Amino acid sequence: MRYFIQFSYFGKAYHGWQNQPNAITVQEVLEKSLSTLLRKKIEVVGAGRTDAGVHARQMFGHFEVEPISDIQDLVYRLNAFLPDDIAVQGILPVAAEAHARFDAVERSYEYWVVKEKDPFLFDYAHWVKNPLDMDAMNEAAKILLDYTDFECFSKSNTDVKTFDCDVREAFWKVQGNKWVFTITADRFLRNMVRAIVGTLLDVGMGKMAPESIHQIIASKDRGEAGVSVPAKGLYLTKVSYPKEIFDEQKG
């Protein structure tokens, strides 16, 4: 039987989501925990991948196992068994063909920037010492919605069939003592959000005009965009699915 699992994690200790041979990952820890508690080898297919050090406030995966008699008890035992930086919010029975990655229709990320040194946000946000022009950064961010090919913001030598992404929102706003960038799209390329933020920060610092985003995207050249900002400020905040996936729950 197929189940969706909803979870979150603080990524500092992990080399991203996806299993790797010589580094600890969130997928490895979650699979080992599920396998131990369910007494069967469990493989979890994630909604996507996050790079080393990136966090997730909402992430989904799917796995298959015999019907679980007490889901709430399993969630409780998982949270007791998992390390403090990974938490499970729920497990849902779904249709046999439901897929955590391919059925996701939208993903949202936030990037946190602080303008003053804050020891309590050191591992959570990127400290930018230079003055920033939020209006200019929002003007540049709005241009992203006019394009679909984002090869210029993709990690070099990425093996993908297309660089097209449908960006549906991209904006900065102040939240308390943080400057937060929010971006939503149907899909994202590797390193895309961090490269976009680095470019927008260059705009905010006056290193380039907001209109420069047009030329950067047209170039399809990663070297034309800004540097990638540190992973510690990046959060996967939401993964959305068609409602019918959950309407067709079994069990």
Q: What residues act catalytically?
A: 51
Cα radius of gyration rounded to whole Å, the chain:
19
Q: Is 220 left (phi over 0), alpha (psi -120 to 50) or beta?
A: left
The 3-state DSSP class for residue 215 equals helix
Token pair in block for residue 49: 């991948």
Q: Are 17 and 58 in contact (CB under 8 A)?
A: no
| Residue 3: alpha-carbon gap to chain centroid | 21
Q: Where are the alpha helices (DSSP H) in the chain?
A: 26-38, 71-81, 134-143, 192-204, 212-219, 243-247
Distance CA 62, CA 31 (A): 11
